[in-house]
Chains A and B, each alone.
Chain A
Amino acid sequence: MSWFTEFPQLDRYQLLSIRKTLDEGFREFTRSYGDAIEHFFDPLLVFLIGFEKLLLASPWWLVIGVILSITHFAARSVRLTIGVAIALILIGVFGMWEDTMRTLSMITVCTLLSIVVGVPVGIAMSRSNRAQSIITPILDVMQTMPAFVYLIPVVMLLGIGRIPGVIAVVIYAIPPVIRLTNLGIRLVDEDVLEAADAYGVTPWQRLWNVQLPLAMPNIMAGVNQTIMMALAMVVIASMIGVKGLGQPVLQSITNQYFTQGLLNGLAIVVIAIIFDRVSQAYAKRSQQQFRGRDD
């Protein structure tokens, strides 16, 4: 009757052989394909390093100037621009400029990659219910699977450093873009599409000129969420050797350097606020544009 009171589980040796077989399989896989996969990501690595070098090599006032003008043109808010300027100068004064640039470049690349991969997947999902029913559970897994679970397999496959970091961050951060692109396109009014069809648009024109612009506020909300989630992963990514603000945070956790942790944490918050306000303001203004046209 033991099965009645205790769950009839596989015994230790069966479980062991399953775990060993799967682990050995994965090792076999990294041995045979690891190099090829590593080289596949080489262009991305070159881009990542180049972008980081650009940010690090540019004089600080130029970088601040560019960030401020982007902020200003996107948000058109003097108060926000001044706030960003003060925050960036404080980051520099407290000696976190280089780490902040590294994190900034990492987050920018992760966001671009998420958009480049995520928007087409979202479009595919919006066009086919079957695709949606397959992709949705995958996205659920990506969002909820603890990052530590795939961090070390990624290291086994790609080694330590930026590329595995980018992959870990993108896995976690890409779902919102995909979900909200899908949602945005599905929410475009049927009547508008009918009207567009009546004008005899090609499928490409329909997507590019009607559906995507109308879905833009939703897509931008997704991008915004993606950026926030990418920033949340910065510290975890630094556990596999990604340089940036995450490393001093990790160090402060191990050594109980509270102030160092707080300062670097606040620098991450500043980056988050810049990205957030800029992308939200941009989304809002693009929405207003459409309202203006509709009215």
Chain B
Amino acid sequence: MKKFQTIVATSVVALSASLSFGADCGDVTIAEMNWASASLLANIDKIILTEGYGCNAELVIGDTMPTSTSMVEKGEPDIAPEMWTSAIAEVLERAVADKKIRYAGRSLSEGGEEGFWIPQYMVDEFPEMATIEGVIKHKELFINPENPDTFRFMGCPAGWNCQITTANLFKALELEEAGFELVDPGSGAGLAGSIAKAYEREEAWFGYYWAPTALLGKYVMQKVDFGSGIDAEHFKKCIGNKDCMDPKVTMYPPSDVWTVVGEEFAANAGAPIMEYLNSRSMTNAQTNELLAWIEENQADGEFGAMYFLDNYPTIWKQWVSDDVAKKVMSSL
């Protein structure tokens, strides 16, 4: 029996070795999620896997729910380069246990960053506004034009997960008692538009947003400190829950953002490719900067990926072997 296991083990190693050293790694489908940072990562993966590892990589459009469902149920697509797993942790963990998918590396090393933000120029003027007490102290700056007796806090669009968390934190921070009104911007575009409008005219703005985003790369914003630290346990149990009766103040814990790979692909792709996917990771600051460049130049994910590979070799060369790096370089 023992012998049989060894034979199987060696043959698997041999098989994977032969695959990884082969000229082509075969067909790979990569999920290109419909937001900018995920599109950028998907395109980077596509170029590196195609040029560096000889894969025949193809992008398929995706979104968190449909892509994760399809990966778990059908094993397609093979790679999801930027999966925000916190909201769907249960489903994914079950699928990992069932050997359907595998977590590779963290796509965003610090995880996604959420919080209540105000523009940097306001902090420059009133340094105490970096904290929630300072914001409440200067609340007259945020007068709500539609209801001048209140001050405007821009919340999260209706129906999004963050609508629940912002509403609970709004309550925990007693912003309503301070005279703030939680305003629903209606859509992600509306929320972004309101920040852009305020920033272009240096007006006051206070609300929910998240990173990495092109917006926070382009417009420098300060995350307001609640002075509470992160209580991840309470956040998970209560703040993220619609029926949270007694919300307490906590900063947002970082959201987990992983590269998720189909088990079948992971088993067959070979060690070098998996090593690449395990180590391919960026910080939020780097991503914000890249996204801002993309928006500034109205580029798409593909153009952004080429710009990244051209201009940030120090970052991506850490992810691959020198040999692969050379191949990718020569293709640019």
Do A241 and B200 touch (CB < 8 A)? no
Other than the given A23-B298, A160-B190, A241-B185, 7 more pairs (CB < 8 A) read A20-B298, A155-B189, A156-B197, A240-B186, A247-B158, A250-B186, A255-B159
Which of chain B's residues have a CB closer than 8 A to the CB of A241? 183-186, 190, 194
User: Are A238 and B200 CB-contacts (below 8 A) given A155-B193, A155-B194, A252-B159?
Assistant: no
Closest to A30 in B: B200
Q: In residues 1-28 of chain A, which contact B (Cβ within 8 Å)?
A: 12, 16, 19-20, 23, 27
Which of chain A's residues have a CB closer than 8 A to the CB of B145? 45, 159, 161
B314 within 8 A of A: no
Which of chain B's residues have a CB closer than 8 A to the CB of A176? none
Chain B nearest CB from A282 CB (Å) reads 32
Closest to A255 in B: B159
Do A34 and B201 touch (CB < 8 A)? yes
Which of chain A's residues have a CB closer than 8 A to the CB of B197? 30, 34, 155-160
Most A CB atoms within 10 A — which of B145, B193, B303?
B193
B4 within 8 A of A: no
Interface size on A, residues (CB 8 A): 38
User: Are A239 and B187 CB-contacts (below 8 A) given A31-B200, A34-B197?
Assistant: yes
Do A160 and B159 touch (CB < 8 A)? no
Chain A nearest CB from B191 CB (Å) reads 8
Query: Of the candidates B146, B160, B183, B201, which one forms a contact with A30 in the assembled complex, judged by CB atoms under 8 Å apart?
Result: B201
A251 within 8 A of B: yes
B325 within 8 A of A: no
User: Are A247 and B186 CB-contacts (below 8 A) given A49-B146, A253-B159?
Assistant: yes
Query: Of the candidates B158, B189, B297, which one forms a contact with A20 in the assembled complex, judged by CB atoms under 8 Å apart?
Result: B297
Chain A nearest CB from B111 CB (Å) reads 23
In the bound complex, CA of A246 to CA of B190 (Å): 14
A248 within 8 A of B: yes
A68 within 8 A of B: no
B175 within 8 A of A: no
In the complex, 8 of the A-B residue pairs with CB atoms within 8 angstroms, ordered by the A residue number, are A16-B298, A151-B189, A155-B194, A156-B200, A160-B186, A238-B158, A239-B186, A241-B183
Which of chain A's residues have a CB closer than 8 A to the CB of B190? 155, 160, 239-241
A243 within 8 A of B: yes
Which of chain A's residues have a CB closer than 8 A to the CB of B330? none
Do B158 and A159 touch (CB < 8 A)? no
The A interface is mostly helix, strand or loop, or mixed, namely: helix
Q: In residues 296-312 of chain B, which contact A (Cβ within 8 Å)?
A: 296-298, 303
Q: In residues 190-207 of chain B, which contact A (Cβ within 8 Å)?
A: 190, 193-194, 196-198, 200-201
Closest to B295 in A: A23
Chain B nearest CB from A41 CB (Å) reads 10
Do A254 and B158 touch (CB < 8 A)? yes
In the bound complex, CA of A148 to CA of B196 (Å): 17
User: Are A19 and B186 CB-contacts (below 8 A) given A49-B147, A248-B158?
Assistant: no
Do A240 and B193 touch (CB < 8 A)? yes
Which of chain B's residues have a CB closer than 8 A to the CB of A20? 296-298
Which of chain A's residues have a CB closer than 8 A to the CB of B185? 160, 240-241
Do B146 and A45 touch (CB < 8 A)? yes
Which of chain A's residues have a CB closer than 8 A to the CB of B158? 238, 247-248, 250-251, 254
In the bound complex, CA of A242 to CA of B196 (Å): 18
A179 within 8 A of B: no
Chain A nearest CB from B300 CB (Å) reads 11
In the bound complex, CA of A162 to CA of B198 (Å): 17
Which of chain A's residues have a CB closer than 8 A to the CB of B159? 250-255
Query: Of the candidates B160, B183, B196, B201, which one forms a contact with A254 in the assembled complex, judged by CB atoms under 8 Å apart?
Result: B160
In the bound complex, CA of A246 to CA of B297 (Å): 34
Which of chain B's residues have a CB closer than 8 A to the CB of A31? 200-201
Do A19 and B184 touch (CB < 8 A)? no
A35 within 8 A of B: yes
In the bound complex, CA of A148 to CA of B160 (Å): 20
Chain A nearest CB from B197 CB (Å) reads 5
In the bound complex, CA of A254 to CA of B160 (Å): 7
User: Are A16 and B200 CB-contacts (below 8 A) given A241-B186, A251-B159, A254-B160?
Assistant: no
A152 within 8 A of B: yes
Do B146 and A247 touch (CB < 8 A)? no
Q: In residues 62-117 of chain B, which contact A (Cβ within 8 Å)?
A: none
Chain B nearest CB from A83 CB (Å) reads 31
